[in-house]
Amino acid sequence: MSAERPILIVGGGLGGLTAALAVARHGQAVRVLEGAPSFGAIGYGIQFGPNVFHVLDRIGVGDAVLEKADSPPAVLMIDALNGKEVTRVPTGASFRARFKYPYIIIHRIDLHNVLLDACRRNPLVTLVADAMVSGFTDHGDQVTVATEDGRSFEGALLIGADGTRSRTREQLLADGGPLANGFVAFRTIVPMGDVTAQVQRDIVALWGFHIVHYPLRHGTLFNIVAVFRRSARSERGDVAAYRAELEEAYRDAHPTMKALLAMLDLGRRQAVGDRDPVRHWHKGRVVLLGDAAHPTLQSLAQGACMAIEDGLCLADCIAAANGDHEAAFRRYENARVVRTARVTLESRYIWDVYHSDGINREVYWQILAERTEADTFQCLAWLYDGFALSTEATR
């Protein structure tokens, strides 16, 4: 592999940019093709578990991310009907002592800019915006991708980091689209001064049913995500119908939740979904990572964390395999499939907990209330301790 024949990455999201930096660390040239007119992120918040810092430190951006982030004192789960705390994950000093790194909340734009700046400073990384990839050809000894506007790019390998509706996956695996779970999400950011709801503002709050909120940019902004089961009535973009659906879905909710809903921007809603886990994410010279490989529900707040872990793991596997890309991709899958599948499956379980009612809700709440801090940390250890790359390139 060489600068003439770089590794190609389709998609300049968090997974694609991490992979670019991680590949370049090994002295290999890489070209990132992004379909949007410019590289960037949608303007909402994101939560990161401490596991992601094992990667961010390795690619040299951990401190820059921390500078832009906040670390909440706790993640609280709150009952949607009575407004009482169900359980809390303390994310202050004891969490930091146990997991080495903090739990953070950060504006996606700030995070993206840290990664983009690092890419722009690295002469081995080429960023190509406005390059919507329409397909690829694997020639056996190299791979070519074509863009919608008629350009083509050659590379040694192709990494499909093109998100939930990945065209790379469609061509590679032809296994259909993601599974919609019937829910939709609205996301909103407002200045902290405009927050009218009587809520604790410095924490991450997860209301059952569900609404998530937390502060951003050192307490100057307030991020809200509201999720509810879609009814068949609303046409896309019909804000009045969205409002009516929301009011119906949350009719029994606590008044504080209703005050949060009143602050939502209903201009755009996003369908929620995931995929059943699959064992193989590669064929020939083409491989997938992040949401293209294993999209998950957002209930564990780990989709982007997994994309970022994938990026480093894949780059390390490619570098260690001395040109044997088959061995590299097998080793990458072996290291990542079970961990990412567990995120997908546990996220579905937590989703059901958030949306439970009646006696199920009471059972879940009792289980959660019985947990000590030590129990909670133990439950999260498999995830937040990060992942170890297997030393064997097994099948």
Ligand X SMILES: Cc1cc2nc3c(=O)[nH]c(=O)nc-3n(C[C@H](O)[C@H](O)[C@H](O)COP(=O)(O)OP(=O)(O)OC[C@H]3O[C@@H](n4cnc5c(N)ncnc54)[C@H](O)[C@@H]3O)c2cc1C
Site of interaction with ligand X (CB under 6 A):
10-16, 33-36, 46-47, 132-133, 161-163, 167, 185, 187, 225, 270, 290-292, 298, 301-305, 307
15: phi then psi, degrees, rounded to nearest 5:
-70, -45
- In the complex with ligand X, which residue's Cβ is closer, 78 or 105? 105
- In the complex with ligand X, which residue's Cβ is closer, 42 or 374? 42
256: tokens are 């504080």
What is the gyration radius of the CA atoms in the chain, in angstroms? 21
Element (H, E) at 336: helix 325-354
Minimum gap (Å) between residue 27 Cβ and ligand X: 23
Strand pairing category for 204-207 and 211-216: antiparallel
Minimum gap (Å) between residue 16 Cβ and ligand X: 5
- In the complex with ligand X, which residue's Cβ is closer, 29 or 227? 227
- In the complex with ligand X, which residue's Cβ is closer, 264 or 365? 264
Answer whether 273's CB lies under 8 Å from 179's CB. yes
> 303-320 and 325-354 helices cross at what angle (nearest 10)?
170
Minimum gap (Å) between residue 96 Cβ and ligand X: 19
- In the complex with ligand X, which residue's Cβ is closer, 9 or 197? 9
Minimum gap (Å) between residue 11 Cβ and ligand X: 3
Residue 295 and residue 298: Cα distance in Å, rounded? Answer: 9
Q: Alpha carbon 363 to chain centroid distance?
A: 29
Minimum gap (Å) between residue 28 Cβ and ligand X: 19
- In the complex with ligand X, which residue's Cβ is closer, 13 or 50? 13
Tell me the C-alpha to C-alpha distance, in Å, between residue 304 and each of 57, 310, 323: 16, 10, 28
- In the complex with ligand X, which residue's Cβ is closer, 70 or 365? 70
Instruction: Decide: residue 71, CB within 10 A, 0-12 exposed, 13-18 middle, 19+ buried.
Output: middle
Minimum gap (Å) between residue 373 Cβ and ligand X: 22
Minimum gap (Å) between residue 382 Cβ and ligand X: 16
- What is the per-residue DSSP string for 97-134? HHHSS--EEEEHHHHHHHHHHHHHH-TTEEEE-S--EE
Minimum gap (Å) between residue 162 Cβ and ligand X: 4
Cis peptide before 282 (omega within 30 of 0): no
- In the complex with ligand X, which residue's Cβ is closer, 44 or 371? 44
Minimum gap (Å) between residue 302 Cβ and ligand X: 5
Answer whether 114's CB lies under 8 Å from 120's CB. no
Candidates 264, 247, 335, 19; CA nearest to 6 is 19
Q: Which residues pair with 212 in a beta bridge?
A: 206, 225
Residue 347 and residue 314: Cα distance in Å, rounded? Answer: 23
- In the complex with ligand X, which residue's Cβ is closer, 32 or 318? 32
